[in-house]
């Protein structure tokens, strides 16, 4: 049981490049979330999903897209990366009770 | 809308001293409340949570928190700090039909010998 895994762990992009971050969970959780963490800002919700095939915007969705084609995977896409998207990205999943999220180890993204 | 305020972005204590990290929340419905800890370059680890029932919640590593509805607070305490407690701590809130956790901005705890 690996819990929540994120791929990749580190990435450096140039402005304008695109990339996809993968989050996978093996707990059969319905709910999945993408957060970004910036110094002094805590964690802010980017997008979330309440089930396979569904997605919704969080607090800071601009510049990101997501997809939940399979229940166990939640993808976060950056179509045209900007330096403001330099951050640490965390994925989380939660079961039916949605009491709390199980967090992945994070992806550190730098956009030059 | 829910929100979380963590008072003090940085708290410093001596080893063996009381740790008190403050968290106040705003919620229009009975909240679920959480404390997470993050060690440098690591992910978030759940320390403890309050959902319903007993208002004094005990967590891992000797931490506990008390839900005080009248004060809208969920402060985190530990009687005696250890050097290994140095980390960043996040308070979070969600509602019973919530879509996600709402996090505070975090408090960095430093422990000196």
Whether the predicted pLDDT of A1 surpasses 80: no
Which residues, 6 or more positions from A8, have their beta carbon under 8 angstroms from its beta carbon?
Answer: A21, A107
Chain B residue numbers with beta carbons less than 8 Å from the beta carbon of A48 are 99-100
| The pLDDT of residue A97 | 66
| The pLDDT of residue B42 | 86
- Kindly indicate the confidence band of residue A92, based on its pLDDT and cuts at 50, 70 and 90: very high
Mean pLDDT value of segment B9-25: 97
Whether the predicted pLDDT of B5 surpasses 90: yes
Binary contact (A90, B44; C-beta < 8 A): yes
Q: What would the pLDDT profile of B19-73 be if each residue is shown by its tens digit?
A: 999 999 998 777 889 999 999 888 899 899 998 888 899 999 999 999 999 999 9
Mean pLDDT value of segment B3-24: 96
- Kindly indicate the confidence band of residue B2, based on its pLDDT and cuts at 50, 70 and 90: confident
| The pLDDT of residue A99 | 61
Binary contact (B101, A99; C-beta < 8 A): no
CA B78 – CA B45 distance, rounded (Å)? 17
Chain A residue numbers with beta carbons less than 8 Å from the beta carbon of B32 are 99-100
Q: Is residue B53 within 8 Å of residue B32, measured between CB atoms?
A: no
Tell me which DSSP letter residue B30 carries. Answer: P
Mean pLDDT value of segment A75-100: 89
Which residues, 6 or more positions from A97, have their beta carbon under 8 angstroms from its beta carbon?
Answer: none
Chain B, 44 to 83: residues with Cβ < 8 Å from chain A are 44, 46, 49, 51
Whether the predicted pLDDT of B97 surpasses 60: no
Binary contact (B106, A40; C-beta < 8 A): yes
| The pLDDT of residue B28 | 78
- Of A64, A106, A59, A60, which Cα lies nearest the Cα of A82? A64
Binary contact (A40, B44; C-beta < 8 A): no
Mean pLDDT value of segment A16-44: 94
């Amino acid at each position: 049981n690996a819990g929540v895994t994120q791929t990749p762990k580190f990435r450096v992009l140039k402005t304008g490049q695109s990339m996809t971050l993968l989050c996978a969970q093996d707990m059969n959780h319905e709910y999945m979330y993408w957060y970004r963490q910036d110094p002094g800002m805590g964690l802010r919700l980017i997008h979330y999903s309440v089930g396979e095939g569904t997605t919704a915007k969080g607090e800071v969705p601009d510049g990101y897209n997501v997809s939940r084609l399979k229940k166990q995977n939640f993808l976060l896409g950056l179509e045209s990366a900007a330096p403001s998207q330099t951050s640490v990205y965390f994925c989380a999943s939660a079961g039916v009770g949605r009491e709390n999220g199980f967090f992945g180890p994070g992806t550190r993204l730098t956009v030059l | 809308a829910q929100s979380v305020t963590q008072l003090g972005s940085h708290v410093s204590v001596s080893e063996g001293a009381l740790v008190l990290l403050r968290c106040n929340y705003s919620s229009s419905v009975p909240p679920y409340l959480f404390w997470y800890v993050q060690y440098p370059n690591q992910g978030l680890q759940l320390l403890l949570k309050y959902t319903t029932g007993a208002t004094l919640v005990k967590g891992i590593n000797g931490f506990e928190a008390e839900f005080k509805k009248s004060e809208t607070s969920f402060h985190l305490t530990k009687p005696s700090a250890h050097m290994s407690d140095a980390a960043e701590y996040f308070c979070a809130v969600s509602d019973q039909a919530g879509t996600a956790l709402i996090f505070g901005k975090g408090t960095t705890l430093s422990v000196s010998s």
